[in-house]
Amino acid sequence: MAQQASAGKAAPKRKPRLMKQANMNRVLYALTPVLLVAIYFYGWRVLAMTAVACMAAGITEFITSRRRGSPVSTAAFVTGALLALSLPPMTPYWIAAIGAAVGILFGKEVFGGFGRNFANPAILGRAFIYVCFPPDMTTTFVPAFEGFPAGFVHWSFMDLAELPGRLSAQGLSMADAMSQATPMWLQKNLGVGYDLWNSFLGNIGGLFHAEEQTRILAGSSVGEGSVPVLLAAGAYLIYTGTANWRLTVGMLAGVVAGGFAFNHIAGGTIGGPLFHLLNGATAYVAVFMITDPVSAPKKRPAQWIYAVLAGVLVVLLRWRSPFVDGTSFAILTVNLAGPLLDMGSEAMAARGKAKEGASQGAAS
């Protein structure tokens, strides 16, 4: 990881328009299948949303980095794509653009560009728009398309007639069932679990009836749906050395531990470890967000604590926070703690070495 960071820092000395970063290119390659799956489930609007976010990120970085005299980095487009794929399917374009711009400007550019920030820009942008526009971020969920061409022949989810037989067969109109709920919301507010196999595939849709209201079950964010694709992308990133496996594995372990512990404390109402692994943004965040080499700590023990803490916090936030899936807050929190963890493990290592030296000195 340290090599990558230094490679990123060395590059700006030359002055091309676009700084090419091999690692960031690999993240873009890994995001391509995720994007395709998102289009499959939610229609071509996802691609437009991604393009808007990438453009907003690129333009913001172009304006700010030109003053500094450094080129636009590929990382800006990675931030834009990561942010867009973490949004609900029907998020207005301008909100996606604001998220990307804020993430790039306040998450990265005010600190001097790539490699110098302490927080993950995409996560910062996501948390910012989640806090600023909660209605748009929590009511724009729609169910996934199903059956082969699925989203590939649709722009976006418009009305229930376009939808899968499982919905239209019920003779519902959009007005009858406007209220959408994600599996996470279901578990949190009604204590109803959703079929884990469908959660695993990202095939989220259908109707359910509870508390005298029929709700549409809907996917929460476009990119986080299909766990197998995300895991494959993660495997590619880890295999090519772009992502650090400790961070991914540590975070998943943290989610499992948090799922066990908090579900036990809450009396089984918040869903077990498997529920938290397969639902919501867990896989997406563990593969793409926490592995950001810039914001993660550099020392090995610090990385483990960082990742496990993030996983535990994810489940804690799902349990107690008013935000339904506050994964971004968990990542932002560990981003804040990252430098302290690094300094702490450095100090511990120094103390260990001093002790070793002292005992060797005593022996000789």
Residues that bind another protein (CB under 8 A): 67-68, 106-107, 110-113, 116-119, 124, 127-128, 131, 317, 320-323, 326, 328-330, 332-333, 335-340, 342-343
Nearer of residues 68 and 355 to another protein, judged by Cβ = 68
Residue 174, phi then psi, degrees to nearest 5: -55, -35
Nearer of residues 7 and 169 to another protein, judged by Cβ = 7
Q: CA of 30: how far to CAs of 71, 183, 239, 309, 355, in Å?
A: 23, 26, 12, 25, 45
Cβ 343 to another protein shortest distance, Å: 6
Cβ 19 to another protein shortest distance, Å: 15
CB 86 within 8 Å of CB 223: yes
Which tokens hold the place of 80? 């834009």
Q: Taking the mean position of all CA atoms in its chain, how far away is CA 129?
A: 14
Nearer of residues 118 and 239 to another protein, judged by Cβ = 118
Nearer of residues 149 and 322 to another protein, judged by Cβ = 322
Nearer of residues 133 and 323 to another protein, judged by Cβ = 323
What is the DSSP secondary structure assignment for residue 87, as one 8-state letter? S
Cβ contacts of 161 within 8 Å, gap of 6 or more: 168
One-letter amino acid at 343 equals M
Cβ 70 to another protein shortest distance, Å: 9
The CA angle 79-304-81, to the nearest 5 degrees, is 10
Q: How many CB atoms lie under 10 A from the CB of residue 346?
A: 15
Cβ contacts of 234 within 8 Å, gap of 6 or more: 30, 243, 248, 283, 286, 287
What is the DSSP secondary structure assignment for residue 289, as one 8-state letter? I
Nearer of residues 223 and 338 to another protein, judged by Cβ = 338
